[in-house]
Amino acid sequence: MERADRAGFWQSVTGSLENDETPYQAAIREVYEETGLIALDYDFQDWQVTNTYEIYPHWRHRYADGVTENVEHLFGLTLPSPLPVSLAPNEHLRYEWVDWREAAKRVFSWTNIDALKRLGEKHQLRL
């Protein structure tokens, strides 16, 4: 999905915890908010992987004062086929269904690249 606030920047579904949510609950909510898809209707998996990364300076205003690092939890969602997506217009401009290798070339975040490679490896093991 191409970000609305940074044209040309592509990313997967992302988000933050709200209230007392667990990362699992937040991931399900974020998938719905950003795509309109109900994650639990498909093959939704907690990969039990986290990445810690430095928050880009131009996005630090979204975090509490002094927060410069984020811990990201990885989840996978495998769909039976490319499905229509309802984007959140304030978050994304457009989406495209592409092979994971092409997606890894487009995204700007090393953590998205890592997640896409993991998804590709998991998918290849099932073939």
The domain that contains 89 carries what CATH number? 3.90.79.10
Residues of the chain with pLDDT under 50: 127
Segments forming the whole domain that contains residue 14: 2-126
> What is residue 125's predicted lDDT score, i.e. its pLDDT?
54
**pLDDT tens per residue across span 40-74:** 999 999 999 999 989 888 889 888 899 999 899 99
Distance CA 100, CA 70 (A): 24
> Is 96 in a helix, a strand, or coil?
coil
- Strands, DSSP E only, in 1-127? 2-3, 43-54, 69-78, 92-94
Q: Checking phi first, is residue 26 left (phi over 0); if not, alpha (psi -120 to 50) or beta?
A: alpha
Which two structure tokens, joined as six digits, stand for 9? 């920047």
- What total of structural domains would you count in the chain? 1
Tell whether pTM > 0.85: yes
> What is residue 127's predicted lDDT score, i.e. its pLDDT?
41
